[in-house]
Chains A and B, each alone.
Chain A
Amino acid sequence: QVQLQESGPRLVKPSETLSLTCTVSGGSIRSYYWSWIRQSPGKGLEWIGYIYYSGSTNYNPSLKSRVTISVDTSKNQFSLKLNSVTAADTAVYYCARGQVTFDYWGQGTLVTVSS
């Protein structure tokens, strides 16, 4: 059974960089696409972007200038960096398997942007 687990700081200061890692267990990261999705009371569910295990990416245009998604196949992990954060970036961040539909999700981690 594939499992995903997000990890990273839960509190980030405004203007700094949000960094999260998703560790995949129970299966290989190879041959799949992997995505980041966030959920906030104000904007609901928002797709952030995806990465293929080979490293190709696609980002939501609304976040593209601030987002980087990377993959480390040796560790079976992929990561999210979102820079220049504001309070509007406060959300539960999920990692998930899939390019367009998402069949496995992490439990989600609440990241709060506050000084």
Chain B
Amino acid sequence: EIVLTQSPGTLSLSPGERATLSCRASQSVSSSYLAWHQQRPGQAPRLLIYGASSRATGIPDRFSGSGSGTDFTLTINRLEPEDFAVYYCQQYGSSPWTFGQGTKVEIK
């Protein structure tokens, strides 16, 4: 199965700053079948990005995804207070679908 490694483990930033999160796959993710999810404390994950760069319905344009092959990035421009959460990447190019271990974006 494809192992996803996210970095950094924790990102300490201030509101208004930009967050750059990385997701590296152990093998190429076919057709950029890579998603990003946000999880706030006590809540279920929420789909942000699919197909590496397409925003899900209702997701603000300050969230953007990029990358292909084995290296993917989630960028959050101008962090809002509600963006401080844990972010997970997920690949669905090869069964079983797998998730990264998460990056926590915390308030500095």
Which residues from chain A sit less than 8 Å from chain B, CB to CB? 44-47, 58, 60-62, 94, 96, 100-103, 105-108
A100 touching B47 in the complex, CB below 8 Å, given contacts A45-B99, A61-B96: no
**Interface class of chain A by DSSP:** loop
B78 contacts chain A at the CB level, 8 A cutoff: no
B88 contacts chain A at the CB level, 8 A cutoff: yes
Contact B96 A44 (CB under 8 A): no
**Interface class of chain B by DSSP:** loop
A50, chain B: closest CB distance, angstroms: 9
Contact B47 A103 (CB under 8 A): yes
Contact count A vs B, C-beta below 8 Å: 44
Query: Which of A101, A106, A107, A108 meets B47, CB within 8 Å?
Result: A101
In the complex, the chain B residue whose C-beta lies closest to that of A60 is B96
Contact A103 B97 (CB under 8 A): no
Given A100-B92, A101-B35, A107-B43, 16 more A-B residue pairs with CB atoms under 8 Å apart are: A44-B100, A45-B99, A47-B96, A47-B97, A60-B96, A96-B44, A100-B97, A101-B92, A102-B37, A102-B45, A103-B57, A105-B44, A105-B45, A106-B44, A107-B44, A108-B44
Chain A residues lying within 8 Å of B88, measured Cβ to Cβ, are 44-45
In the complex, the chain A residue whose C-beta lies closest to that of B91 is A100
CA distance A60 to B32 in the complex (A): 21
Chain B residues lying within 8 Å of A105, measured Cβ to Cβ, are 44-46
B66 contacts chain A at the CB level, 8 A cutoff: no
In the complex, the chain A residue whose C-beta lies closest to that of B43 is A107
CA distance A47 to B43 in the complex (A): 17
Chain B residues lying within 8 Å of A108, measured Cβ to Cβ, are 44
Chain A residues lying within 8 Å of B50, measured Cβ to Cβ, are 101
Q: Which of B33-84 contact A (CB under 8 A)?
A: 33, 35, 37, 43-47, 50, 56-57
A-B contacts, 13 listed (Cβ < 8 Å):
A44-B88, A45-B45, A45-B99, A47-B96, A47-B97, A47-B99, A60-B95, A61-B96, A100-B33, A101-B92, A103-B57, A105-B44, A107-B44
